[in-house]
A and B are shown apart, each in its own frame.
Chain A
Amino acid sequence: MADTTIPERIPINLVVNGERRALEVVPWTTLLDALRDRLELTGTKKGCDHGQCGACTVLVDGRRVNSCLTLAVMKDGAEITTIEGMARDGTLHPLQQAFIDHDAFQCGYCTPGQICSAAGLLAEGRARDADEIRELMSGNLCRCGAYPNIVAAIEQAMSRS
């Protein structure tokens, strides 16, 4: 490919928060940029763009992943759940409510990623105590330092699910 050529766009389909979305993407477009810039779902955050902070965490086919290191073109046909798809009919997801109850955030920027990651954690069923929650949530940085409250929020959601 010549030095200044833009690669061709490729049509893909994503099922985002239950809704089928068709779009054309250049292969270099990450799932994160597709969500934020193309689908205007800015709830998913970009904090490092290198898989080092977890702010971009979404669920792809039910599993938590870093959307910043995921090429959208490779997820053709996948089901994506973002923070915008967590609440149902105006009712907050138990994790969302627990995050409010326990003041598990301050600036709110890591929060969507924390909540999606916690949803993945609950689905995995591998965390049985606070230490395991801490370890399995360590892929989500929080610079405001809300970690103890995040653990408490997840424990609340775990006990109620």
Chain B
Amino acid sequence: MNNFDYSRASDVSDAIRLLTADPGAKLIAGGTNLIDLMKENVERPSRLIDITRLPLRDIEETAGGGLRIGALVPNSDLAYHPLVEQRYPLLASAILAGASAQLRNMASVGGNLMQRTRCAYFYDTTTPCNKRSPGTGCSAIDGLNRNHAILGTSQSCIATNPSDMSVALAALGALVHIAGPSGQRTLALTDFHRLPDDKPHLDTNLGSGEIITAIELPAHGFARNFSYLKIRDRLSYAFALVSVAAALELEGNAISEARLALGGVAHKPWRSLEAEAALRGKAATPDHFGHAADLLLQGATARSHNGFKIELARRAIVRTLMQAANATPQSQAHKKIA
């Protein structure tokens, strides 16, 4: 681990001030990803700004019928919050599919959005990696890439975003509230993370000196027809090969609204409005779901070891949509896939 200074932020503006004063500084809350990366010497912040004492721990209803979740709410508190369980069970399910009970107790909502890729080359400081050391090259493109992205990749990077929570948030149309040196702003979750293009060292569109203050969920929670399905190499405590968040609004068997997002396949949660639009007005059938899957996976490219992900994702999408349509969401504890 490198040497660093430690400061405790007293409020949000103090955090912004500390961040702005020291370009090498990083915010720390749960620490579950940052400390891990610091121990690997991948992250080497000059200063850690402890924000755990900021008043960002509330979950409150918004005037529009949605939910505003403070950035410091621990993942497990969010998953088990009665309003989330009742109105946004897709989000609860996705959170519970990730990490372990201990890590969910520690990790904050804001931190979850900031977690970095599990690409093995990113983690190994002896190998080239554009995300860790811009300009050194991508070792994964011609290397071990079984876990890597099939969508939205670039010649610079094929890493994936490892978050489960973000996939559900993308599907639900969540907003990210941000405070920074020039005031407050809001980004759609789907615009929060970015594709690697030629700047893979940037995971998100968060500007310098900015801090996530809250996540906002719109009123529509898809509490009846939803499912989160995570496919991985062991049955728990592993990162996704592919995960699917699906939510439907049904009138009879007809789809009036559809949401679909993928995890484990791209540098950000992968959502396609086109695929969702194609489902609207259609019957909830495997054929229509397959068509939506094809639209969502349009442009998917395989590297040497991850070609299976394309077919796996296609099947997982159809399956998850069927689970949603049948109102038989995937249990995260009972491992038989519904």
Contacts and interface: CB of A to CB of B under 8 A. Distances in A.
B102 A54 contact: yes
Interface stretch (A5-13, A36-44, A79-87, A91-99): A5-13
Interface string A103-143: 00000000000000100110010100001101111111000
Contacts of B332: 135
Nearest to A136: B101
B80 to A, nearest CB: 7
Given A30-B35, A74-B31, A139-B237, A120 B101 contact: yes
A71 interface: yes
Given A50-B39, A135-B236, A138-B237, A57 B6 contact: no
A148 interface: no
Main secondary structure of the interface of B (DSSP, over half): loop
A127 to B, nearest CB: 8
A49 B40 CA distance: 10
B3 interface: yes
B32 A51 contact: yes
A71 B35 contact: yes
Interface of B: 1, 3-6, 28, 30-32, 35-36, 38-40, 46, 48, 50, 52, 76, 80, 99-103, 105-106, 235-237, 332-335
Given A30-B35, A51-B103, 11 more contacts: A6-B3, A10-B6, A27-B6, A28-B4, A69-B31, A69-B36, A69-B106, A71-B31, A74-B52, A117-B102, A131-B333
Interface of A: 1, 5-7, 10, 27-28, 30, 49-51, 54, 57, 63-66, 69-71, 73-74, 117, 120-121, 124, 126, 131-132, 134-140
